[in-house]
Amino acid sequence: MMKIRRLRSGTCSGILALAVLAAVAPRARAAEPISANRIPQNQLIQPETLHRELEAGRRPLILQVGSRMLFDEAHIPGAEYAGPASRPEGLEVLRHRVAGLPRNRAMVIYCGCCPWEHCPNIGPAWVLLHQMGFTRVRALYIADNFGADWVHQGYGAEGVQ
């Protein structure tokens, strides 16, 4: 006959707590980062192309979705800071900024904090804007960083210190 050992009450409540945590954990985990590489190629714009468009007088809404420090140091002339999209509060700033805009408004989002494949901001911003129904969103493809791919190319920047 199998002997059943009685568990101490503390052990039972500990097991119950672990079971509850296991059931809730998938929902409580932080969202997986959304890779910039998820953005379709046909929705990317190269720095040189955006620069030419700006020079020609075409002016989409340009939103920087990276760090405030990066924006303050240097940003595309006329760009607006729209919060760090890798954080929920940054996505709220972005959502609030575009909430009243027509869904066919041309806009360009960019970050430039680091190499494209490691950027934590551009993917979440792009996904949010598309979930909100925006149809003319392009992401500025910054291969290395904003300094190397925009400022040092001579495309012009505001806030350069």
pLDDT tens for 87-144 read 999 999 999 999 999 999 999 999 999 999 999 999 999 999 999 999 999 999 999 9
Residue 10 lies in a domain: no
| pLDDT for 37 | 86
The whole-chain average pLDDT of the chain stands at: 84
- Number of domain units in the chain: 1
- Domain range for 136 is 36-153
State the CATH number of the domain containing residue 83.
3.40.250.10
Residue 66 lies in a domain: yes
pLDDT band, very low/low/confident/very high, at 75 (cuts 50, 70, 90): very high
How far apart, in whole angstroms, are the C-alpha atoms of residue 39 and residue 34? 9
Residue 116 lies in a domain: yes
Residue 3 lies in a domain: no
How far apart, in whole angstroms, are the C-alpha atoms of residue 117 and residue 142? 10
